[in-house]
Amino acid sequence: MGAPDVRSADAEVLIEDFASVIGAAMGWPPMAGRTAGVLMLAEEAMTAQQLQAEVGASAGFMSEITRLLIANGVVRRVKAPGTRRFVYRWREDAWVGCLAHQLDQVRELRDLAHRARATGADLPDTQRRRTGDMADYYDFMVARLTAMLQDYRASLGAAADPPPRTEVTGPRPGVRVPVDR
């Protein structure tokens, strides 16, 4: 279980690209991007301790990173077969998970836009137009992202990970982490 002892130079470059490019684009700390790269290239699931050693992170920071990657839809937390330990693995449908996460965020913004439009019904024309434009924009984005997600899922067929069967409460109150058993 875990990362290879020796990685190719190309793999190291990819991991560092994840650290700098994907991390920055997603608003993640570089260590989260690096961890995503390590898991994407890992042949097998890895424990938090293996990930810590691989990327040089503390236990607390690795806990935050793995929660972030799970929330962003690219990593799964699963029970290691025959043990009571959890391990982390790159989702086979990671990009579906990523797009689904983005859609969830846009839905939240759409809901805010609709509340703003309803709450601002008595505002002057310019402000009403702006809140209406915001609602229209997010309606458009939700519709397009929903269609994209459906099309992308269909293009993958059986390659998609099944949804997690259960959730456990994470280390912080209110944080739920999907778990496959």
- Whether 107 and 142 have beta carbons less than 8 Å apart is answered as yes
Write down the domain spans for the chain: 9-91+161-180, 94-158
Q: Fold match between 9-91+161-180 and 94-158?
A: no
The pLDDT tens digits for 72-107 are 999 999 999 888 899 999 999 999 999 999 999 999
- Residue 179, pLDDT > 90, answer no
Reported confidence tier of residue 181, pLDDT bands at 50, 70, 90: very low
Residues 6 or more apart in contact with residue 113 via CB below 8 angstroms: 131, 134, 135, 137, 138
Topology, domain 9-91+161-180: Arc Repressor Mutant, subunit A (1.10.10)
Alpha-carbon span 153 to 100, nearest angstrom: 10
Reported confidence tier of residue 5, pLDDT bands at 50, 70, 90: low
Percent of the chain clearing pLDDT 90 (strictly above): 73
The domain defined by 94-158 carries CATH number 2.40.160: no
